[in-house]
Structure 1
Amino acid sequence: MRIVLVGPPGAGKGTQAAYLAKNLAIPHISTGDLFRANISQGTELGLRAKGYMDAGQLVPDEVTIGMARDRMNQPDAENGFLLDGFPRNVAQAEALDEALQADGVKLDAVLDLEVPEDEVVKRIAGRRICRNDSSHVFHVTYSRPKQDGVCDVCGGELYQRDDDSEDTVRKRLEVYHTQTEPIIDYYKAQGLVVTISALGKVAEVTGRAMDALERSS
Structure 2
Amino acid sequence: MTRLLIIGPPGSGKGTQAEHIARHFGIPVVSTGEIFRTNVSEETELGIQAAAYLDGGTFVPDHLTNALVRDRLLKKDLQAGFLLDGYPRTAPQVMELDDMLATQGLALDAVIELHAPDDELEQRMRRRAADQGRTDDTVDVFRHRLDLYHRETHEVVSVYAGRGLLVSVNGSGDPGDITGQAIAAVEKFLATPRSGA
**Fold shared, TM-score > 0.5 on shorter chain:** yes
Closer/same/farther in 2, CA of residues 60 and 174 from structure 1, 3 Å limit? closer
TM-score normalised to the size of structure 1? Answer: 0.74
Q: State the match for 1:93 in structure 2.
A: 94
Matched residue count: 185
Compare CA radii of gyration and give the structure with the larger one. Answer: 1
Question: Is residue 199 of structure 1 aligned with residue 168 of structure 2?
Answer: no
Q: What are structure 2's unaligned runs of at least 5 residues?
A: 191-197
Closer/same/farther in 2, CA of residues 58 and 112 from structure 1, 3 Å limit? closer
The list of structure 1 runs, each at least 4 consecutive aligned residues, that deviate by more than 4 angstroms after superposition, is: 36-42, 54-59
Measure how far apart 1:113 and its partner are: 0.2
TM-superposition CA deviations, 1:18-71 (whole Å, max 9, x none): 1111111111111123335667899xxx64x34644787974313312221221
CA contact (8 A) 1:13 1:84 kept: yes
Q: What are structure 1's unaligned runs of at least 5 residues?
A: 136-159
Closer/same/farther in 2, CA of residues 19 and 54 from structure 1, 3 Å limit? closer
Q: State the match for 1:23 in structure 2.
A: 24
Aligned partner of 1:164 among 115, 138, 163: 138
| Structure-to-structure mapping, 1:71-90, within 5 angstroms | 71-90=72-91
Q: State the match for 1:146 in structure 2.
A: none
Distance in 2 between the 1:29 and 1:23 partners?
15
Closer/same/farther in 2, CA of residues 128 and 82 from structure 1, 3 Å limit? closer
RMSD of aligned alpha carbons: 2.8
Q: Which has the higher contact order (CA 8 A, sep 6+)?
A: 2
Question: Is residue 177 of structure 1 aligned with residue 150 of structure 2?
Answer: yes
The residue identity in structure 2 corresponding to 1:164 is: T
Distance in 1 between the 2:111 and 2:51 partners?
33
TM-score normalised to the size of structure 2? Answer: 0.81
Higher helix residue share: 2
